[in-house]
Amino acid sequence: MTDTTIQRQRDSAETTVFAVIFAVSFCHLLNDMMQSLLAAIYPMLKDNYGLNFKQIGLLTLTFQVTASLLQPVVGAYTDKRPMPYSLPVGMAFSLAGLAILSVAAHYYMLLLGAAMIGIGSSIFHPESSRVARMASGGRHGLAQSFFQVGGNFGTALGPLLAAFIVLPRGQQSIAWFSAAALVGMIILYLVGNWYQRYRAANANRPAASRALRLPRRKVVISLVILALLVFTKNIYLASISSYYTFYVIHKFGVTVQESQMLLFLFLGAAAVGTVLGGPIGDKIGTKAVIWFSILGVLPFTLVMPYANLFWTGVLTVIIGFILSSAFPAIVVFAQELVPGRVGTIAGIFFGFAFGMAGIAAAVLGVVADNKGIDFVYAVCSYLPFLGLLTIFLPGMKEVRGETARA
């Protein structure tokens, strides 16, 4: 075999790896675009169905809880019994949820549609996160960021699609996005084929060690701290994604479409923060990224409730960028803490993120009904103080056992 042939095989393998990461990232975009449509059409649903903030919060809770409760279960099950073709099945549930939302005549049907989209997300996230890690070639932060940024861009697209397609054409136009779900199902079927081939090619390799590198108590404490940091991040993000449009409409008198554009700017900034968080974490350490992301956003969240319209837009872009850089680092950190349980950790942290956002949205909706939407943002501005808990996390070298070997 010539050197040229060997090099071509290496190039081909490398191309295949990045093609797979791109495929799951793109499908993450489609998945989260579809689920973000729900929050993006809240102003329309509020008017059409006469909903209050409590009912809006319950819609978010239904979606987020169905996703959060099932994700750890799916992740733990597929750690033991990988299911390459579960990915297109998850996308099929999201397709069904969109169809229900487009024809819903009663509030309970909106809840059912939200639940179906949540189930689709619960199936999609753990296995697709595993595929991204498998295809990473050891660059776990980069792969996790690339995977997650697809979801962030998808979430950012939701308000734009709602503003320029759903709002002008009505609720029935939600069904048009079923085409995106079909595209996702086809791509994920092909990813499932790669997944099967990867497993067959690595069938004789020894299984990854599941032994903890740190004392169990320290691992548990670290996981609890990471969960609290996710809690902080997602409550604040829930206050933006679910109620930001209402906030700027109420406080500054902007139109619904203008509010959707402002929400898009925030979500777009969050997507950029996500894609940079992982690679930076690979270079300077995930703990440093977590420090910067959670605690570094505090000055901006404290100022935002008192800013005018221009500075509110600027501050939310800064907040979205900084705060979203943490999640890839948190997931990679947790997967290093508990080796050999990639799906379980992905399911727990994606699921916990969804669950906390859902519960927060419901609680914040009740608070907004009773105290006003301005009060919600004043209270949430103090949440990043919990970033101080990062000081109790072990260093990454200690997590990887490098200190012990030195």
pLDDT digits (tens, 9 = 90+) for 220-234: 888 888 888 887 787
Query: Looking at the predicted structure, is the pLDDT value of residue 9 above 70?
Result: no
Per residue in 215-272, pLDDT (tens digit) is: 888 888 888 888 888 877 878 877 787 788 888 888 899 888 888 788 888 878 887 8
What's the pTM value of the predicted model, to 2 decimals? 0.65
What one-character DSSP code corresponds to residue 117? H
Q: Quick check: is 1 in a domain?
A: no
Query: Tokens 């940091």 — which residue?
Result: 229
DSSP per-residue string spanning 149-162: HHHHHHHHHHHHHI
Phi, psi torsion values for 338, nearest 5 degrees: -125, 80
Q: Give, in degrees to the nearest 5, the angle at Cα 228 between 32 and 224.
A: 115
Q: Which token pair is 205?
A: 């390799």
Mean pLDDT throughout 105-116? 90
Q: Quick check: is 101 in a domain?
A: yes
Q: Quick check: is 128 in a domain?
A: yes
The pLDDT of residue 319 is 92
Contact present, 32 and 150 (Cβ < 8 Å): yes
The pLDDT of residue 23 is 92
Q: Which token pair is 80?
A: 């033991």
Contact present, 394 and 214 (Cβ < 8 Å): yes
Q: Quick check: is 35 in a domain?
A: yes
Q: Which token pair is 246?
A: 């209402």
pLDDT interval class at 355 (50, 70, 90): low
Q: Quick check: is 91 in a domain?
A: yes
- Give burial (CB, 10 Å; 0-12/13-18/19+) of 6: exposed
Question: Amino acid identity, residue 202?
Answer: N
Q: Which token pair is 278?
A: 């992982």
Query: Looking at the predicted structure, is the pLDDT value of residue 155 above 90?
Result: no
Question: Amino acid identity, residue 140?
Answer: H
Per residue in 280-321, pLDDT (tens digit) is: 777 777 788 888 888 888 999 999 999 999 999 999 999 988
Alpha carbon distances (Å) from 253 to 245, 248, 249, 258, 308: 11, 7, 5, 10, 12
Query: Tokens 């669950």 — which residue?
Result: 355
Query: Looking at the predicted structure, is the pLDDT value of residue 8 above 60?
Result: no
CATH number, domain of 37, equals 1.20.1250.20
Query: Tokens 């942290």 — which residue?
Result: 349
Q: Is the dihedral of CA 260, 263, 267, 272 positive or negative?
A: positive
Contact present, 106 and 221 (Cβ < 8 Å): no
Q: Number of structural domains, the chain?
A: 1
Q: Quick check: is 92 in a domain?
A: yes
For residues 213 and 222, what is the distance between their CA atoms, to the nearest angstrom? 13
Q: Which domain holds residue 307?
A: 18-201+211-405
Q: Quick check: is 400 in a domain?
A: yes
Q: Using alpha carbons only, how large is the chain's radius of gyration in Å?
A: 21
The pLDDT of residue 352 is 66
Buried b (16+ CB within 10 A) or exposed e, 315-339: bbbbbbbbbbbbbbbbbbbbbbbbb
What one-character DSSP code corresponds to residue 207? P
Which of these, 196, 47, 214, 225, lies nearest to 127 by C-alpha position? 196
State the chain's maximal CA–CA distance in angstroms. 74
